[in-house]
């Protein structure tokens, strides 16, 4: 790999796109170099489940032709990785599960098609928790992903492979999906910017459905500008997703350097169960924002703590319904059974891992006759209460600042036998998911063990431009992005 | 529950999953302790927007639907026999 290519891949996506647009470097050479890094990232960290081949080179050559023809592409030649629960035409989709067998989607997810239209080249599919259900990437049927900051630790989940690939500099950008925190948590554990958009901002067409009232795709990046560019490209109405928001993509770039002067930042004072290093990073971030002209508004929202229960009950209920499609008949894997019903039960028993079974059973229970009112409907009422509480909070402040996770990445295996303790890892991320609000995970320095800690910025519906501008300001205040020790070269 | 979820579980699995889920539900019981008057009623699902009813010429063809089926024959999904020959 030439020095120029290595330097471009180490740098931001917007710099790489500028170089390809100016025809200083060919997209096909960038793709070739990124494919080598993706292969190494698969070997070293288990971040990729599938690395593209000649198809990616051909796609990059097409980008070169479009650039030569004078097309302006905001992400010209940027190699990206896509979480394996998001369809890329012609590449296998496993979603980290055995239930999908050898499934190959015939078309791109809408968000992937839009990224390709903006000039991106998909170099591979990244590992994730099975069907998006997990916070550590350990529930993948194909093995854990290692955190490039400390390979004995989890990268977070469920978009753990996407986060590990971007943190290790295999690619400058990746697509993740966020149901209860699955973009933000791995972003925090790997020292990245990760965006959960307003519900409906990004089409869900082509995502393997987990919980349809929560699922959103979002970008993971090392730089706020790259996250903004990617989200802008992914967004927009889609007639094939009934919950997609009407209208064109929001403008996320023109206000990116607006700063934070005059902003009211709500600060949640509940630090119960928060690791001292995460609490220190939160305080330092608040001071930094105040020093740049923001005002701090202390807030108490005690009912947010109920979010984990409400989220897990509703998401599991939706999953139990969505996953009914895995029947061993229409697509995916199949186990033998004497009759159709036996075939379905055997297929699901063999195809689903433990965590998926837990959630399908939890959701089936919450929806079942005699329990529905006490659990599912109660959880829906708590969901509405939390959305109302957040709406009230956003009258007193423009955004809410909290930790993204209660602490930094923990060792692989430490919590895998304790589902409840894993669910509680999501305590800060689920409120925005429940209310359909956007939230951005932003790096906030390193712990004493030199592991990334993040903060989360959550705002009212449609506030992505504001949140990314705050992320950009924090990034500018902190200086250049810190690379992990185990980068891919 | 496993039968309702159309999923075989072994006896050992059932015991373990039941124990794990009991612990989870014990914790989630907190939502049942919230005073009723603090909680709004169960929300109605928002109405889904309707799109124009036009036939699609894109994906949706039989080949698209069946391309990933584990077993198919003459354009159909194959399942084990439902009615026996002498039944």
Q: Is A339 on the interface with B (CB under 8 A)?
A: yes
Task: Answer whether B80 sits within 8 Å of A340, measured CB to CB.
Answer: yes
Q: Residue B27 falls within a domain, yes or no?
A: yes
- Quick check: is B87 in a domain? no
Instruction: Tell me the average pLDDT across A271-277.
Output: 89
Mean pLDDT of chain A: 96
The model's pLDDT over A215-245, given as tens digits with 9 standing for 90+, comes to 999 999 999 999 999 999 999 999 899 899 9
Query: Is residue B87 pLDDT above 60, yes or no?
Result: no
- How many residue pairs from chains A and B have C-beta atoms closer than 8 A? 139
Name chain A contacts of B51, Cβ cutoff 8 Å.
239, 242
**% of chain A at pLDDT higher than 70:** 100
- Residue A278 CA to its chain's centroid (Å): 20
Q: What is the ipTM of this complex?
A: 0.91
Question: For B10, which residue in chain A has the nearest alpha carbon?
Answer: A349
Q: Which residues of B touch A380 (CB under 8 A)?
A: 42-43
Fold annotation for A1-483: Amidase signature (AS) enzymes (3.90.1300)
**pLDDT at residue A319, as a whole number:** 98
A-chain residues within 8 Å CB-CB of B7? 345, 348-349, 352, 357, 360-361
Residue B53 lies inside a defined structural domain of this protein = no
- The answer as to whether B65 is a domain residue is no
| Minimum Cα–Cα distance from B22: chain A residue | A362
- How many CB atoms neighbour CB A253 within 10 A? 16
SS3 labels along A327-366:
CCCCCCCCCCCCCHHHHHHHHHHHHCCHHHHHHHHHHHHH
**What are the residue boundaries of the structural domains of chain A, listed by start?**
1-483
Residues A294, A296, A297, A300, CA torsion sign: positive
B68·A384 Cβ contact <8 A: no
Check residue B63 and give its pLDDT. Answer: 67
pLDDT for residue B60: 58
> What angle in degrees, to the nearest 10, is found between the helix axes of A13-21 and A27-45?
150
For residue B56, name the pLDDT band (cuts at 50, 70, 90): low
Domain count of chain B? 1
Q: Stretch A141-155: mean pLDDT, rounded?
A: 98
**What pLDDT is stored for residue B67 in this prediction?**
83
Q: A214 to chain B nearest CA, in Å?
A: 14
Asked if the model's pLDDT at residue A271 lies above 80, the reply is no
- Point out the residue among A327, A354, A379 whose CB comes nearest to the CB of B31: A379
Overall average pLDDT of the B11-21 stretch: 94
Query: Has residue B71 been placed in a domain?
Result: no
| pLDDT greater than 90 at residue A269 | no
Q: Check A135, A159, A162, A182 and give the catalytic one.
A: A182
pLDDT tens-digit map of A37-93: 999 999 999 999 999 999 999 999 999 999 999 999 999 999 999 999 999 999 999
pLDDT surpassing 60 at residue B59:
no
In a domain, B26, yes or no: yes
The pLDDT of residue A168 is 98
Inter-chain contact B68–A375, Cβ cutoff 8 Å? no
- Mutation for B interface: A95, A378, A422, A461, most B CBs within 10 A: A378
C-beta neighbour count of A418 within 10 angstroms: 12
Taking Cα atoms as reference points, which of A484, A489, A441, A440 lies closest to residue A170? A489
Helices vs strands, H then E, count in chain B: 2, 2
Model pLDDT, residue B61: 62
Does the pLDDT at position A278 exceed 70?
yes
CB A123 within 8 A of CB A52: yes
Angle formed at CA A132 by CA A127 and CA A137, multiple of 5 degrees? 45
Q: Phi and psi dihedrals of A352, rounded to 5?
A: -90, 140
- Whether A158 is catalytic is yes
Q: Which residue has the higher pLDDT, B84 or B24?
A: B24
Q: Which domain holds residue B17?
A: 1-39
Contact A207, A177 (CB under 8 A): yes
**Nearest chain A CA: its distance from B14 CA (Å):** 10
Over the stretch A8-39, which tens digit does the pLDDT of each residue have?
A: 999 999 999 999 999 999 999 999 999 999 99
**Mean pLDDT for the stretch of residues A386-407:** 97
Going by the DSSP 8-state scheme, the letter that residue A148 receives in this structure is T
Q: Which of A312, A357, A385 sits opposite B38 (nearest CB)?
A: A385
pLDDT tens digits for A446-476?
999 999 999 999 999 999 999 999 999 999 9
**Average pLDDT over chain B, rounded to an integer:** 85
pLDDT at A270: 74
Interface of B with A in 41-70 (CB under 8 A): 41-43, 48-49, 51, 58-59, 64-65, 67-70
Percent of chain A residues topping a pLDDT of 90: 95
B31 touches chain A (CB under 8 A): yes
Query: Is A182 a residue of the active site?
Result: yes
Which of B2, B31, B30 minimizes the C-alpha distance to B16? Answer: B2
User: Which pLDDT score, from 0 to 100, does residue B57 have?
Assistant: 63
Torsion from C-alpha of B22, B23, B25, B29, nearest 10 degrees = 130
Asked if B34's CB is within 8 angstroms of A306's CB, the reply is yes
Tens digits of per-residue pLDDT, A193-212?
A: 999 999 999 999 999 999 99
Whether B79 sits inside 8 A of A329 (CB atoms) is yes
Task: Work out the minimum CA distance from B54 to partner chain A, whole angstroms.
Answer: 12
């Amino acid at each position: 790999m030439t020095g120029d290519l290595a330097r471009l891949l180490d740098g931001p996506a917007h710099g790489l796109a500028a170089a390809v647009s100016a025809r200083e470097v060919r997209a096909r050479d960038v793709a070739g170099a990124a494919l080598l890094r993706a292969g190494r990232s698969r070997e070293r960290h288990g971040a990729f489940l599938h690395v593209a081949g000649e198809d990616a080179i051909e796609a990059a050559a097409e980008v070169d032709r479009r650039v030569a023809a004078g097309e302006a592409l905001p992400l010209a030649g940027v190699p990206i990785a896509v979480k394996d629960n998001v369809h890329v035409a012609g590449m296998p989709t496993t979603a980290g599960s055995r239930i999908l067998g050898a499934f190959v989607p015939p078309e791109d997810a809408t968000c992937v098609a839009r990224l390709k239209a903006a000039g991106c080249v998909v170099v591979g599919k990244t590992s994730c928790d099975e069907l998006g259900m997990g916070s550590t990437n350990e529930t993948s049927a194909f093995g854990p992903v290692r955190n490039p900051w400390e390979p004995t630790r989890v990268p977070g989940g469920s978009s753990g492979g996407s986060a590990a690939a971007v943190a290790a500099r295999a690619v400058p950008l990746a697509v993740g999906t966020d149901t209860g925190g699955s973009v933000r948590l791995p972003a925090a554990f790997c020292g990245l910017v990760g965006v959960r958009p307003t519900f409906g901002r990004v089409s869900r067409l082509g995502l393997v459905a987990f919980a349809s009232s929560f699922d959103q795709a979002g970008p993971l990046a090392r730089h706020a500008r790259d996250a903004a560019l990617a989200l802008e490209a992914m967004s927009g109405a889609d007639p094939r997703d009934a919950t997609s928001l009407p209208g064109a993509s929001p403008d996320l770039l023109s206000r990116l350097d607006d700063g934070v002067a005059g902003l009211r930042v709500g600060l949640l004072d509940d630090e119960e169960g928060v690791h001292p290093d995460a609490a220190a990073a939160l305080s330092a971030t608040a001071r930094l924002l105040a020093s740049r002209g923001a005002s701090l508004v202390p807030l108490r929202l005690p009912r947010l703590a109920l979010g984990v229960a409400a989220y897990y009950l509703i998401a599991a209920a939706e999953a139990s319904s969505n996953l009914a499609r895995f029947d061993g008949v229409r697509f995916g894997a199949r186990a033998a059974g004497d009759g159709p019903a036996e075939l379905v039960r055997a297929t699901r028993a063999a195809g689903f891992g433990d965590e998926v079974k837990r959630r399908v059973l939890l959701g089936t229970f919450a929806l079942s006759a005699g329990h529905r009112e006490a659990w599912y409907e109660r959880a829906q009422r708590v969901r509405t209460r939390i959305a109302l509480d957040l709406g009230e909070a956003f009258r007193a402040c423009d955004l809410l600042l909290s930790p993204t996770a209660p602490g930094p990445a923990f060792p692989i295996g430490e919590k895998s036998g304790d589902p409840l303790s894993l669910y509680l890892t999501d305590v800060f991320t689920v409120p925005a998911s429940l209310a359909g609000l956007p939230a951005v995970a932003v790096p906030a320095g390193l712990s004493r063990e030199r592991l990334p800690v993040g903060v989360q910025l959550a705002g009212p519906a449609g506030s992505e431009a504001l949140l990314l501008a705050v992320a950009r300001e924090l990034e500018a205040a902190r200086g250049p992005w810190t690379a992990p020790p185990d980068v891919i070269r | 529950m496993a039968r309702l979820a159309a999923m075989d579980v072994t006896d050992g699995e059932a015991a373990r999953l039941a124990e794990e889920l009991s612990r989870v539900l014990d914790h989630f019981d907190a939502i049942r302790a919230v005073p009723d008057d603090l909680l709004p009623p169960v929300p109605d699902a928002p109405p889904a927007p309707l799109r124009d009813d036009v036939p699609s010429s894109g994906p949706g063809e039989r080949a698209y639907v069946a391309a990933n089926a584990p077993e198919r024959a003459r354009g159909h999904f194959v399942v084990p026999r439902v009615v026996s020959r002498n039944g």
